[in-house]
Amino acid sequence: MGEFADKAVIITGSARGIGREIAAAFIQEGARVVISDVDAGACAETAAALGGQAEAIPANVTVKSEVENLVKQTKEKLGSVDVLVNNAGVTRDALFIRLKEEDWDLVLNINLKGTFLASQAAAGVMLKQRSGKIVNIASVSGLFGNAGQANYASSKAGVVALTKVMARELAPRNINVNAIAPGFIVTAMTDKLSAEIKENINKQIPFGRMGEVKDIADAVLFLASERASYITGQTIAVCGGLTMQS
């Protein structure tokens, strides 16, 4: 059966990378999972590859009508919306002094506004159910800043703050809202880095290596589970000790 038997889980940006791994982990625990992504083709391919417990519902998280449709269709097909994982995210790195306005807007729109819109749509259903779990994927970049990531770090710091506000407002209806701040994880996002940069990064990580997508999935499943029912408004860094919050 599994810990999430028959739970309905939506994961944004889950056609690949960390989101896909989170989806696979929920399916392994018995959940019915909605694979959602702006890339409709990859979304359908991933859902097919993950098997019968996965449903593909494409949505661009920056478009309110698309995320509303995502939540509506999930409710119609699966009967409830028990878990939302706001995972869709992008980088457009540049030094702050040269950062283009359009790259500021794009990253803030997808990472922060997308999390707001998808959460607002899902919370509409969760408030009526008087239960639900929202897990936001932030980043250690949003906790300690990172040169070259003014847009990305600001968006993820915004996600951390939004997590706290939603946690306070939704707690009376038994809805938990938490965030995971991944450190450097081996994915397409970090494959782009040069060998030299990767070596420098590894030197700064107490465990001496980047994390695996499974490390993030494990933490997300914990926060979405009943074992974490007394935890809300928190951001847990899963980063091999790279950052240690006070």
Just list the catalytic residues: 152
E strands in the chain: 8-12, 32-36, 54-56, 83-86, 132-137, 175-182, 235-238
* 124 vs 88: CA distance, rounded Å: 20
Q: Does 110 bind ligand NAD (CB under 6 A)?
A: yes
Residue 66 CB, shortest distance to ligand NAD, in Å, is 8
How many C-beta atoms lie closer than 10 Å to residue 144's C-beta?
A: 15
**Binding positions for ligand NAD, 201-230, rule CB under 6 A:** none
Residue 193, Cβ density class (10 Å: 0-12 exposed, 13-18 middle, ≥19 buried): middle
Q: Does 242 bind ligand NAD (CB under 6 A)?
A: no
Q: What distance lies between CA 48 and its chain's CA centroid?
A: 21
Please give the angle made by the CA atoms of 56, 57 and 63, to the nearest 5 degrees.
Answer: 150
Residue 62 CB, shortest distance to ligand NAD, in Å, is 5
Q: Does 92 bind ligand NAD (CB under 6 A)?
A: no
Judged by beta carbon, residue 186 or residue 231, the one nearer ligand NAD is 186
Q: Does 163 bind ligand NAD (CB under 6 A)?
A: no
Q: Does 184 bind ligand NAD (CB under 6 A)?
A: yes
Q: Does 38 bind ligand NAD (CB under 6 A)?
A: yes
Site pattern 40..69 for ligand NAD (x: CB under 6 A):
--------------------xxx-------
Quick one: which segment of 14-22, 48-56, 96-104, 200-208 binds ligand NAD (CB under 6 A)?
A: 14-22
Q: Which of 182, 83, 169 is nearest to 142 (CA)?
A: 182
Quick one: which segment of 23-31, 36-44, 119-127, 222-230 binds ligand NAD (CB under 6 A)?
A: 36-44
Sign of the C-alpha dihedral computed for residues 205, 207, 209 and 212 taken in this order: negative
Q: Which two tokens stand for residue 124?
A: 């509409």
Residue 1 CB, shortest distance to ligand NAD, in Å, is 28
How far, CA to CA in Å, does 215 sit from each of 45, 126, 159, 182, 245?
A: 24, 27, 20, 9, 19
User: Under the rule (CB under 6 A), what is the footprint of ligand NAD?
Assistant: 12-13, 15-19, 37-39, 60-62, 87-90, 110, 114, 137, 139, 182, 184-185, 187-190
